[in-house]
């Protein structure tokens, strides 16, 4: 039987319960109470009508080497927790649905989660696309202004990073949900084990071989980094 719940963004009164239930830093949560919309990092909390803590969900922008991309296309669904005796009553589904709605309103086009196999199966039942265990997706998005920070001496628009979400041993399965019709420039499956960065580059490079139309759209410094010599001459000169 579904619980009657109050589901809302994190408030200061929720911080102690979320800290006790997770590995999220207290300082981060306290900052998120007032800045989550600007950071595009929502934490959604579920409580019963009488105020008992039921669970929470958390998402954030996809990161590159710990640098978040809040203007990018992809969010990471990082946490989902429901109190043990409340599981199976619809709280998890309600938290996921509210989080997806919030991410859509914040402008994200897709959301990715790293999950264990039971959670991945649960997400698949709710419409997520679950990749085979040990496989992950690498992708390239259209340029955003933040990407200029990678090469500040080059002309604006010269580079966009190759993007991915690492998997962990206890979360070996990747699941995706599309929120809007805004596809990446290119994506490809790769093996995240071992030298994950090299595997991701190899997969994207192979995918681009048959997509000269996409290759021509990539920022020149990214084309050069992916070792397409025919396009190296198009890379801009470094200013300064």
Class for the domain spanning 1-108: alpha beta
The SS3 call for residue 138 is strand
Q: Are the C-beta atoms of 160 and 184 separated by less than 8 Å?
A: no
Region(s) of the chain under CATH 3.40.630.30: 1-108
What are the strands, taking DSSP E only, across the chain? 5-9, 43-48, 53-61, 63-64, 67-68, 74-82, 110-115, 129-130, 136-140, 173-178, 186-190
User: Would you state the pLDDT for residue 66?
Assistant: 78
- The mean pLDDT value for 221-239 works out to 64
For 133, how many CA atoms within 13 A lie in the half-sphere containing its CB? Answer: 11
**Is the entire prediction scored with pTM above 0.85?**
yes
pLDDT digits (tens, 9 = 90+) for 15-52: 999 999 999 999 999 999 999 999 999 999 999 999 99
């Amino acid at each position: 039987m579904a619980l009657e719940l109050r589901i809302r963004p994190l408030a200061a009164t929720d911080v102690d319960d979320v800290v006790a239930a997770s590995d999220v830093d207290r300082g981060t949560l306290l900052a998120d109470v007032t800045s989550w919309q600007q950071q595009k990092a929502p934490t959604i909390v579920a409580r019963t009508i009488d105020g008992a803590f039921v669970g929470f969900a958390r998402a954030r922008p996809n990161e590159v080497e710990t640098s978040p991309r809040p203007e990018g296309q992809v969010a990471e669904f990082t946490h989902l927790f429901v109190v043990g005796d409340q599981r199976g009553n619809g709280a998890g589904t309600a938290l996921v649905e509210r989080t997806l709605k919030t991410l859509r309103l914040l402008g994200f086009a897709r959301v990715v989660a790293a999950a264990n196999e039971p959670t991945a199966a649960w997400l698949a039942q709710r419409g997520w696309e679950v990749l085979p265990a040990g496989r992950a997706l690498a992708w390239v998005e259209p340029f955003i202004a933040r990407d200029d920070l990678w090469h500040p001496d080059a002309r604006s628009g010269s580079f966009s990073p190759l993007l991915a979400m690492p998997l962990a041993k206890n979360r070996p399965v990747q699941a995706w949900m599309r929120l809007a019709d805004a596809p990446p420039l290119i994506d490809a499956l790769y093996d995240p084990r071992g030298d994950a960065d090299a595997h991701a580059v190899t997969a994207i490079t192979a995918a681009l071989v048959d997509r000269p139309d996409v290759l021509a759209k990539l920022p020149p410094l990214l084309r050069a980094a992916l070792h397409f010599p025919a396009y190296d001459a198009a890379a801009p000169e470094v200013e300064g």
